[in-house]
């Protein structure tokens, strides 16, 4: 049986059987994640930025699944995409008023950030490729997907294989960090609810700010003309001399 060819260029055939499907799906998710991350930077419309960020984070969850972290991939989808991004989208909806939807950044800022980002990217990529062991194709054992090792470790019981460098009998769990993070989350959410609560003001501060701003020259001139006319005619209504 001859394998089906999906590509035949320059005499090099790529049979379907030769495709590493793990690598193909990695490329798919990595392309989506990186492409939409760059789109977040390039977009000016904050609503589109939120959409691109959702897609990028969801594709990252796919990368987690491909790396063998199934529980983490599910958490990424539920907490990040389902929780944090909904929060962000609410923020966008509450503040997206007219010109604030598209706040374009200055060209100089863009160029500077591009240089900084490219330098950082180059440095990180070179660092990532500099260790030969990290460039070896993955050959480790594929473990059965299970949430139990991480879940049990979070409550202080290690059910996975003992780590090679830990002393015999010592299997540290993550109970204390788990407690600290949970209390931290509680305090932070109470604080956030306190900060974002509805204030009772007679006039919203935004209106006060708008009223305190000096009116444009044309408006001031118009007001001055009106005052002069009122003085000349001596209207009682306008408060001039009778």
Partner 1 sequence: MTPALAALVPLFGLVTEPVSLAHYLVVGAILFAAGVACMAIKRNALGVLMGIELVLNGANVNFVAFASPFLAGDRARSLGLDGQAIAIFVILLAAAEAAVALAITLNFYNNHATVDVDRADDLKG
**Which residues between 134 and 163 bind partner 1 (CB under 8 A)?**
134-143, 149-150, 153-154, 158, 160-161, 163
Structure tokens at 174: 């993550």
Shortest distance, position 44 Cβ to partner 1, whole Å:
9
Q: Is 240 in the site for partner 1 (CB under 8 A)?
A: no
Residues near 124 by beta carbon (within 8 Å), at least 6 away in sequence:
none
Residues near 53 by beta carbon (within 8 Å), at least 6 away in sequence:
36, 40, 85, 88
Among 5, 34, 155, 236, binds partner 1 (CB under 8 A): 34
Q: Is 105 in the site for partner 1 (CB under 8 A)?
A: yes
Contact stretch for partner 1 (CB under 8 A) within 35-43, 218-226, 232-240: 35-43
- Dihedral of CA atoms 128, 134, 138, 140 in degrees, nearest 10, equals -130
Contact stretch for partner 1 (CB under 8 A) within 195-203, 215-223, 226-234: 195-203
Among 3, 5, 23, 155, binds partner 1 (CB under 8 A): 23
Among 75, 156, 230, 240, binds partner 1 (CB under 8 A): 75
Single out the residue of 38, 16, 37, 24 nearest to residue 66, CA to CA.
24
Shortest distance, position 71 Cβ to partner 1, whole Å:
7
Q: Is 88 in the site for partner 1 (CB under 8 A)?
A: yes
Structure tokens at 131: 């260790």
Q: Is 32 in the site for partner 1 (CB under 8 A)?
A: no
Q: Is 95 in the site for partner 1 (CB under 8 A)?
A: yes
Residues near 85 by beta carbon (within 8 Å), at least 6 away in sequence:
50, 53, 54, 57
The gap between the terminal CA atoms of the chain, to the nearest Å, is 110
Q: What are phi and psi for residue 227, nearest 5 degrees?
A: -65, -45
Q: Which is nearer to partner 1, 23 or 231 (CB)?
A: 23
Distance CA 63, CA 92 (A): 27
Per-position DSSP letters for 198-210, written without gaps between them: PP--SS-HHHHHH
**Which residues between 208 and 237 bind partner 1 (CB under 8 A)?**
209-210
Shortest distance, position 215 Cβ to partner 1, whole Å:
17
Q: Is 176 in the site for partner 1 (CB under 8 A)?
A: no
Q: Which is nearer to partner 1, 104 or 231 (CB)?
A: 104
């Amino acid at each position: 049986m001859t394998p089906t060819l999906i590509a035949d260029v320059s005499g090099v055939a790529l049979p379907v059987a030769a495709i590493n499907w793990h690598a193909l799906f990695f490329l798919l998710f990595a392309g989506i994640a990186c492409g939409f991350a760059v789109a977040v930077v390039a977009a000016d419309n904050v609503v589109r930025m939120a959409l691109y960020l959702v897609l990028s984070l969801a594709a990252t969850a796919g990368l987690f699944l491909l790396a063998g972290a199934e529980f983490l991939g599910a958490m990424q989808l539920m907490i990040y995409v389902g929780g944090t991004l909904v929060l962000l989208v609410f923020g966008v909806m509450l503040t997206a008023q007219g010109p604030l939807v598209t706040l374009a950044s200055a060209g100089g800022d863009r160029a500077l950030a591009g240089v900084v980002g490219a330098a950082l990217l180059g440095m990180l990529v070179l660092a990532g490729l500099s260790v030969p062991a990290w460039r070896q194709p993955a050959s480790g054992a594929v473990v059965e997907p299970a949430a139990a090792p991480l879940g049990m470790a979070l409550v202080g019981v290690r059910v996975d294989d003992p780590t090679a460098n830990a002393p015999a009998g010592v299997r540290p769990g993550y109970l204390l960090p788990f407690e600290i993070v949970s209390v931290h989350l509680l305090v932070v959410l109470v604080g956030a609810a306190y900060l974002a609560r509805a204030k009772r003001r007679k006039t919203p501060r935004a209106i006060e700010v708008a009223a305190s701003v000096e009116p444009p020259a044309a408006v001031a001139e118009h007001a001055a003309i009106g005052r002069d006319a009122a003085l000349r005619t001596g209207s009682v209504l306008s408060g001039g001399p009778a």
